[in-house]
Amino acid sequence: MTAGAFSQTRVVVAGAGFAGLFAAKDLAAKGFAVTVADKRNYHTFFPLLYQVAAAELEPEQIAYPARGVFRSRPNIAFAMAEVTGLDASRRVLTTDAGEIAYDYLLLALGSETNYFGVPGAREHAFGLKTLNEGVALRNHILTCFERAALTADPAARAALLTFTIIGGGATGIEYAGALRELIKGPLTRDYGCAGSCGAKVMLLEAGSRLLPGFGDKLAAYAGERLRRMGVDIRLGAKVTRIEADCVHLDGGEILKTRTAAWTAGVRGPAAAAGFGLELGAGGRLAVTRYLQTPGHPEIFAAGDMAVAAGQPPIPMTAPAAIQEGRQAARNIELLARGEPPEPFAYRDKGVMAVMGRGSAVAGFGRVSLTGLSAWLAWLFVHVAWLIGFRNRLVALSAWAADFFFFERSVRLILPGPGPGGRTGAPGPSDLSGPDRPV
């Protein structure tokens, strides 16, 4: 094939997340005419979202403008557009900004929070799946401290200062540790003991252990470390209902709290159900081992959105999404050349979770790291993968301030996303509900 052979071949990539971004770059390098459509004009680095919610990083430090990523690639066009449907017979993607025609399509719209049908969870729990949700949770936590400092009612104060995190996976433990450190250091200094003593961080996990997907030793270490930091870990604690001022557990216990942060799971995005394509487990798009959707060899899906039936499960992580996105791009190139696609083979890059300053767990095959060595590995990986030189620099300086001075500079309750998508700093009534994704 000559250079420029694919310049008339239109590939649409839906989603500028990990899968979409890497696929688009590979496709552009091969000379395809690529259009990337995303409802947001930026790429989000989700592994650090919990730090936004814990007042450690600003939202713009974990996001990067999509047009900036693609600036040096003239054959990638970006469309800020929400994907709403698909007409596979006409080969057009439907969006709120009109139709986009394709020869090949890669669907990579990620995932959304799975509340598992728990009554009240959608209405009253704070999700941690979008930048808006991260900011809303941060505003809410800081507002709880402000309200607690002003109330004379001990019961109301205790509920304001009890923070429950639901889900003992990596995000749950990372947020529990970061929140505990925020409270113990900066907030105790800001509010004094009168304003912050008695603040509780509770981590509720329905299963019998933390960190599924990590080795037993790493999970035990993480739990022990969090307990020493003062996190109240409840294993076998199944949440059955959430209300504005309490969380109900299986067995009848009711926890009085104004904060339920939900990190218990994700599912396929709602848009997937409207494509007329086969769905697999968890509302995700079914794909073959070539990442093609059954019956439509020209439509691929990758990342959190895709699930291959009959194949070993692939974790819903950034490295897996990147690998799938790149394999889908490679297979599109092979099909365009008239060659057969290659099956996707997942390469396990290991697992990592950080509990706090200088403390993490990491597993790479048979190698397990805990404590400072794991934290340094975590730091290296996250700085290396964070997009944008400025973001890396600012994140590093924020972590250095936290590490050496126990200081967090992002403790502002700024106008931003509020309950129900309203804007403005939260007022007293805003304590009753979370932000909804915009």
Q: Which residues in this chain contact ligand FAD in the complex, by CB under 6 A?
A: 15-20, 37-40, 46-47, 49-50, 82-83, 108-110, 128-129, 170-171, 269, 271, 303-305, 316-319, 321
Residue 408 CA to residue 399 CA, distance in Å, equals 9
Beta bridge partners of 360: 354, 371
Minimum distance from residue 226 beta carbon to ligand FAD (Å): 16
Closest chain position to ligand FAD (CB): 17
Active site (annotated) includes residue 174? yes
**Residue 146 Cβ, how far from ligand FAD at the closest point, in Å?**
25
For residues 292 and 107, what is the distance between their CA atoms, to the nearest angstrom?
10
Neighbours of 195 (CB within 10 A): 18
Q: For the purposes of burial, counting CB atoms within 10 Å of the CB of 347, is it exposed (0-12), middle (13-18) or buried (19 or more)?
A: exposed
Closest CA to 125 of 237, 34, 16, 258: 258
Q: To the nearest whole angstrom, how small is the minimum distance from the Cβ of residue 36 to ligand FAD?
A: 9
* Owner of token pair 């600003």: 58
Residue 109: closest CA among 76, 77, 132, 84: 84
DSSP β-bridge partners for residue 36: 13, 78
**Least distance (Å) between residue 433 CB and ligand FAD:** 20
User: 226 near 232, Cβ under 8 Å?
Assistant: no
Q: Which residue number, 318 or 386, has a Cβ lying nearer to ligand FAD?
A: 318
Q: Which of 56, 112, 133, 174 is catalytic?
A: 174
**Shortest approach of ligand FAD to residue 150 CB, angstroms?**
31
Query: Token pair of 297, please?
Result: 């060899």
Tokens of 45: 């680095």
Is 75 or 323 the residue whose CB approaches ligand FAD more closely?
A: 323
User: Is 107 or 159 the residue whose CB approaches ligand FAD more closely?
Assistant: 107
Active site residues: 174
